[in-house]
Amino acid sequence: MANTKGLKTGNEKDLWVYVEHYKGEPVHVVYELLGECRKLADKCNQKLAAVLITDDAKDVPSKLIARGADLVYVCQDPAFKYYSTDEYTNAFCEMIDAYQPSAVFIGATNDGRDLGPRIAARVNTGLCADCTILDAEEDGLIEWTRPAAGGNIMATILCKEHRPQMGTVRPKTFKAMEPDASRTGEVINYTLKNHVDDRVTCIRREEVVSEGEMAIDDAPFVCSGGRGMKAKENFSLLYDLAHVLGGAVGGSRAAVDEGFIEHPRQVGQSGKTVTPKIYFACGISGSVQHKAGMSKSDTIVCINKDPDAPMFEISKYGIVGDALKILPLLTAKIKAFKES
C-alpha cells in the first residue's frame, strides 16, 4: 500500500508560526515571522496561528495576538522548560495531526534548524531551509525563496502535493509589526497525549556570556572587514571604530577563511544576517553571498580601493581608498565629534 501520510487532502487550514522562546519570552524572529505571515494569511484568506510549547505560558499568548496572531495553540508541560529535540518534535507533530495546518514557519535559529527538519520528516512533507523571501497564492500555496547555487541565484520552491508546507526563515529578514493591544484572538490549550524519552541526557546547563563584545545580530552599527584588511592585526582598526560608535565587528567569509575573524561574526549567506542602522564594509568586494546578509541595513558605507567593487552598487556612501589608512582618520573624526 502506498504511503499517503503527508499528502494534501484539502482539509488543511491556517498558517502556523513556531514560537521559540528564551527565558520565557519569544525570540525576536517570532515577531518578524508573525508580521510577514500576517500579510500572507490575509492574502490567502486564512487564519494565522502561533504555536507555543512551554512549561509556563504566562502572558505570552496575549503578546503574540498583539503582534498579529489570530490563534495561539499552547502546549504546556513541565517537560518543556528547556528546548528538547525529542519532546518538542513529538508535541509539534501531535498538534499537526490534531489541527492539520496548511503551512508551518520556523525561525532559522540553531533550535529551529534542528526542529524543522525533524518535524518535516516525521509528517512526511518537505522543508525549504533558510528562506529570505515569502509569498502566497490565493489558494494558500506558499512560495518559498532562498539563495541557491552558492548564492548566485534565488530559487523559489513550491510544495504542491504535501501538507503542511514547511520552511525555516532567516532572522532579520522581515520587519516585526508594532504591537496592537486592541487585537483579539483565541487561545487553545492542547493536552499532550504521549511523552517521549529524550535520547540525550543533559548533565549541566551553563550560559555562556561573551565579555566586552556586542553580538553583531543586535548591534546598531556593524563594522565589517574583508580580505582587503590584509591581516588579523588590522582588524583592531575595526574594533576601534566599533568601540567609538557603540557597535560590533563582523567580517566576510573571505576574512573568516583567512583567519582574520571568528566564524560567529561572519556576515552573509553562510553566516549571520544583520540589519544595523549603519553597516561599514571595509575591504569587502561585495559578493552576492555577503550582500544576502547585510543588504537590508539602513545605511551602507563602503571603503574599498577598487572603484568597481560591487559593494558600491548598494552603498549610500562610498570612499575609494585604502581602508587601513582611512579607518584611523574616520575613527578620530567621529571620536572628536562625540567629545565636542
Catalogue all structural domains in the chain, each as residue range(s) with its CATH number: 15-189 (3.40.50.620), 221-339 (3.40.50.1220)
pLDDT of 2: 41
What pLDDT, on a 0 to 100 scale, did the predictor assign at position 129? 95
User: Which residues participate in the annotated binding site?
Assistant: 227, 252-253, 266-270, 283-290, 304
Is residue 270 within 8 A of residue 108, CB to CB? The reply is no
Question: Which residue shows C-alpha cell 580580505?
Answer: 227
Q: Name the strand (E) or helix (H) holding 188.
A: strand 186-189
Whether the Cβ atoms of residue 223 and residue 248 lie closer than 8 Å to each other: yes
Cis (ω within 30 of 0) for the bond into 171?
A: no
Q: What is the pTM of this model?
A: 0.77
Annotated binding site for FAD: 227, 252-253, 266-270, 283-290, 304
pLDDT, tens digit (0-9, with 9 covering 90-100), for 208-224: 555 556 788 889 999 99
Residues 6 or more apart whose CB falls under 8 angstroms from that of 133 comprise: 143, 145, 146, 154, 156
Residue spans of the chain under pLDDT 70 = 1-5, 150-152, 203-213
Sequence-separated (6 or more) residues with CB below 8 Å from residue 88: 53, 80, 115
